[in-house]
Structure 1
Amino acid sequence: MSLPMPHGFEKPFAAFLFDMDGTILNSIRAAERAWSNWARRHGLDVDDFLPKMHGSRGIDTITRLNLPGVDPVHEAKLVTEAEIADVSDVVPISGAAAFLSSLPPDRWAIVTSSPLRLAHRRLEAAGLPRPKFMVTAEDVTVGKPDPQCYILGAERLGVSTHECLVFEDVAAGIAAGEAAGADVMVVTATHQHKMATAHPSLASYDEISIRISAEHKMFIVANAA
């Protein structure tokens, strides 16, 4: 037996847009190893820096620091190569593989701040399906929280962002989804502390299922406990 989602999710969706890291897979340990090593090389306080790098493109993270003599493009490439080489702790969020496999292939996309090669590497490491449609760091000129990435994701699926449900886990991505005009579901699987949000949330994809209407619209339903 399935139960209805909270108010606001009775609506039909044309497509789903998923962030990747922290939303369908957990890459925190691997990412933080690579970024910690980079931060130490540049004399940064690692504990202060790490919370600020999640959810953003590497080039945007480094550019914001405005470090003298540092080329953000070059340094972001170095971090990406380190992340590609280290996927030992990358695992799927519980239930994500089954949920993604239940969706029509042309009705969902991944919209990630990761570069394409890293996205493919982490999806493979987590045993998750590679989607038909993706938006990655190389596809946009401005990263999250700018909505450009989610607007592009909806365009590639041939739908309006207002018909989309965005799955996100961090503030920058949630803001991007909101600014794009999409509905947002917050995935809390990797959160160490409760996030204050007005959006519905889920701790794992085991909590939800998909129902497709006769009009080919998708509805989220909550699984019975």
Structure 2
Amino acid sequence: MTEHDLFPGKAFDAFLFDMDGTILTSIIAAERVWTLWAQKHGLDVGKFLATIHGVQTIETIRRQNLPGVDPVEEARWVTSREMEDTQGIDPIPGAIAFLNSLPADRWAIVTSASRDLALRRIRTAGLPLPGLLITAEDAPNGKPAPDCFLLGAQRLGFEAKNCVVFEDAPAGIRAGEAAGASVVVITTTHTHAVDVPHPTVPGYEALEARRMADGRLSLLGRDTA
């Protein structure tokens, strides 16, 4: 087994994790709820489902430009059903051990979900609760805007440019880039190859965060041969 540095010569102040598709998988549950919503509004379900990932619920609804639809009320409908439907929510491989290995003051979860839904899914997946959780209520300008990652870094006491963002969805990747952070793309839930100028890993089983003497973190990958 050999180790390699995902970002050679660099160490980081903190790690910022997206939630859905990055540290847990909720695609099956989310798509069940969104399928019902799309059918209710006469949308092409296949095309629509491809647009929901990594974006705030209310923004997904607004983008449909449906006449006579109140995005706030519809978002409440979607969220209430997502709170009820937790079947198939599981941790991404290796995520529990990796998060537990991190110093508590050096990581946060930064998600487009509401706070209640995020807490429900984190607990359902058996993941450790972070000391800092940034949700849709904290950063109204959702991904791909960088606001949530900038805020997460700031509340941890650092600058985003000195952090690593862990993401899976295009909107989140763009948000991490716009924040000036280094980005790692988690591909567990991807069905197609991704073309990004960032390290890509299927999960966390081959990752190690190593704490430096100054408290910063390096990020190592392990190759098996």
Corresponding position of 2:25: 26
For residues 208 and 76 of structure 2, the distance between their equivalents in structure 1, rounded to whole angstroms, comes to: 38
Gaps spanning 5+ residues in structure 1: where?
A: none
For residues 8 and 57 of structure 2, the distance between their equivalents in structure 1, rounded to whole angstroms, comes to: 33
Matched, 1:108 2:107: yes
Structure 1's consecutive aligned runs of 4 or more residues displaced over 6 angstroms after TM superposition are none
Corresponding position of 1:36: 35
Corresponding position of 1:49: 48
Where 2:72 maps in the other structure, the secondary structure is helix
Which residues of 2 match residues 1-225 of structure 1 at below 5 A?
3-6=3-6, 8-225=7-224
TM-score normalised to the size of structure 2? 0.97
Over the matched positions of the two proteins, sequence identity in percent amounts to 53
**Which protein is richer in helix relative to its size?**
1
Q: Deviations over 1:96-152 (max 9, x none)?
A: 000000000110000000000100110111100110001101111210000001000
What's the offset of the Cα at 1:5?
A: 2.4
For residues 214 and 5 of structure 1, the distance between their equivalents in structure 2, rounded to whole angstroms, comes to: 17
RMSD (Å), alpha carbons: 0.9
For residues 178 and 198 of structure 1, the distance between their equivalents in structure 2, rounded to whole angstroms, comes to: 10
Does the aligned pair in 2 maintain the 1:4–1:10 contact within 8 Å?
no
What's the offset of the Cα at 1:49?
A: 0.1
For residues 2 and 104 of structure 1, the distance between their equivalents in structure 2, rounded to whole angstroms, comes to: 24
What's the offset of the Cα at 1:203?
A: 0.2
Does the aligned pair in 2 maintain the 1:2–1:221 contact within 8 Å?
no
Q: Deviations over 1:45-102 (max 9, x none)?
A: 1001000011100000001111101011110111001001001100000000000000
TM-score normalised to the size of structure 1? 0.97
For residues 137 and 9 of structure 1, the distance between their equivalents in structure 2, rounded to whole angstroms, comes to: 33
